[in-house]
Structure 1
Amino acid sequence: MKAVLATDLSAASEATIQNETCLDCLGRIGIDEIHLVTVVPSNVHSGMPGIDFEKRRERSIRRYRRVIEAAGFDVEVHVVRGTPHRRIIGIASTIGASLTVVGSRGKSPLENRVIGSTARNLARTTETPLLVNRIERGVDDPVVLKQHLFQRMLYATDFSENAERAFEAFSYLRHATQEATLVHVATPKDPALPEGVDPEQRLGELAARLEDWGIDAEIVVRQGDPADEILATEAAVNPTTVLVGSRGHSRLRRLLLGSVSEDLVARATGNVMLIPPA
């Protein structure tokens, strides 16, 4: 499996690359080839006053490549120019990536918050599964907040087709997952579910599948605003990653998993993994 690992060469985006546990987790789910991508914004050039970007970029990329290769991965490097999220999506599509990994917030040497905005844009438009890796904020030497990326998963579902597709990610995540909490949020704004679906029964069936894979699973049914209740569940069970589809079944925009996933990327305390539609 191939993964795109996007970096803006900041201390924040470096945290994942330098973290042995994070890299080990990627290896456990079957990633063996990592494409390291850094995007130079179109409005930045090496001749800008006070910017020694070319040398910084070369030093950082060499160091990152050594670390990733030492962890046992094949590595390809892509240095491109353009709009970050569009170029990342393009590269992921071209190489047939199974996963894109991006830091949740970063401040590049160019004084642009490249990765922070890129994560939000990728959440809206990604065409491959996206892992938004939560990095410590407000410090000079940040660390990854949840190093064991897939150890404890919180799976949120509205029982839509894409939510079911997100659940299928456990077919490879299970090699690194020990515990999972499955949550459905019922809301009076749009109470309709696919015909014949009983939330607790359906969650129980999904939990049984996880138990067959050796994953301890529990189910939770809540009522209220989907994003708020998913985040409340995250606070209660402390997962390492929230897993959700990036589209849902509801016709109401607020209930679309597209908008919920965007909220999760912005507000979750841990990592967020989004699965786009087929």
Structure 2
Amino acid sequence: MKAVIATDLSAASEATIENETCLECLGNIGIEEIHLVTVIPSNVHAGMPGMDFEKRRRQALDRYSTVIENAGFDVETHVVRGTPHRRITGIAETIGASLTVVGSRGKSPLENRVIGSTARNLARTTETPLLVNRVEREADEPDLLESHLFQRMLYATDFSENAEHAFELFSVLKNATEEARLVHVQTPKDPGLPEDANPEMRLDELATQLEAWDIEVETEVREGDPADEVMAAEADYEPSTTLVGSRGHSRLRRLLLGSVSEDIVARANGNVLLVPPGAHV
């Protein structure tokens, strides 16, 4: 399996790449080959005085490559120009990546209302599962908030087809996951369930599948706004990563703001693993 790790060479990206436990977690789920990608913005030109961005970025990627190779992975590096989320998505599709990883400091509640960060744009457009790896927000040399990426998972489901598709990722995560909490949020109009359906029973069925892999499982049904309740569940459970599916039935999803999955990516305190429709799991 291949993974793309996107880096802007910031302290947040460096924390993701240089954390040995983080790399070990990727190996535990079957990642063998890592592609490091850094994007030079289109408006930055090589001829600008005092700015040899490409050379500096290649030197930085060479340092990162050594760390990753020493952890036992095959590594390729890519220094490209363009719009970051578009180039990252394009490379992931071209190489057939099973996962894209991007580090993020997260934002304040006010900043969360502004769509523009690479992580959030990737959440809107990615065609492969996306891991948003959260680091400390204020530190000059930040640490990862959770270095054991998949050890303790929170899975949020509305029982839609795409949520079920996201659940299938546990077949890959099982070698790295020890505990999981499965959460469904009931709303007045719940399109994912027929009127006579029992959400507790549906969650128990999913739990049985995970328990067969020796994963310790809890289930919970909440009521209210889906994004708010998933964030409350995250605060209560303190998972390594929150796993969620993104509906994205058409290109219109790239133009519409405020989906539950985007809100979770923007607001979560910890890591988020987002699985888009049709992604190879």
Change (3 A) 1:42 1:140: same
- Could you list the runs of 5+ residues in structure 1 that have no partner in the other structure? 107-115
Match of 1:67 in 2: 67
Aligned residue for 2:62, secondary structure, equals: helix
TM-score under structure 1 normalisation?
0.90
Q: Partners of 1:147 and 1:105 in 2: how far apart? A: 14
Whether the 8 Å CA contact 1:100–1:128 is kept in 2: the answer is yes
Whether the 8 Å CA contact 2:25–2:176 is kept in 1: the answer is yes
Q: Partners of 1:60 and 1:193 in 2: how far apart? A: 46
Q: Partners of 1:170 and 1:2 in 2: how far apart? A: 17
Match of 1:113 in 2: none
Whether the 8 Å CA contact 1:246–1:257 is kept in 2: the answer is no
Change (3 A) 1:47 1:248: closer
Q: Partners of 1:75 and 1:5 in 2: how far apart? A: 10
Whether the 8 Å CA contact 1:246–1:258 is kept in 2: the answer is no
Q: Partners of 1:46 and 1:248 in 2: how far apart? A: 37
Alignment of 1:1-278 (within 5 A): 1-49=1-49, 51-105=51-105, 117-188=117-188, 190-195=189-194, 197-247=197-247, 259-278=259-278
Q: Partners of 2:257 and 2:132 in 1: how far apart? A: 16
Q: What is the deviation of 1:49?
A: 4.2
Q: Partners of 1:95 and 1:194 in 2: how far apart? A: 37
TM-score under structure 2 normalisation?
0.89
Q: Partners of 2:231 and 2:257 in 1: how far apart? A: 14
Amino acid at match of 1:120: R
Q: Partners of 1:97 and 1:215 in 2: how far apart? A: 26
Q: Partners of 2:161 and 2:248 in 1: how far apart? A: 7
Q: 1:17-70 CA deviation, whole Å, 9 max, x = no partner?
A: 000000000000000000110111100123334544234313211100000000
Q: Percent same amino acid among aligned pairs?
A: 74
Q: What is the deviation of 1:187?
A: 1.0
Q: Partners of 2:167 and 2:191 in 1: how far apart? A: 21
Q: What is the deviation of 1:247?
A: 1.1
Q: Partners of 1:257 and 1:86 in 2: how far apart? A: 18
Q: What is the deviation of 1:197?
A: 3.1
Q: 1:150-205 CA deviation, whole Å, 9 max, x = no partner?
A: 000000000000000000000010100000000000012x2343335321000001
Q: Which is further off, 40-49 or 227-236?
A: 40-49
Q: What is the deviation of 1:15?
A: 0.6
- Could you list the runs of 5+ residues in structure 2 that have no partner in the other structure? 107-115
| 4+ runs deviating over 6 angstroms | none
Match of 1:109 in 2: none
Q: Partners of 1:58 and 1:182 in 2: how far apart? A: 42
Q: Partners of 2:192 and 2:81 in 1: how far apart? A: 44
The alignment yields a C-alpha RMSD, in angstroms, of 1.9
Match of 1:111 in 2: none
Whether the 8 Å CA contact 2:104–2:133 is kept in 1: the answer is yes
Q: What is the deviation of 1:11?
A: 1.1
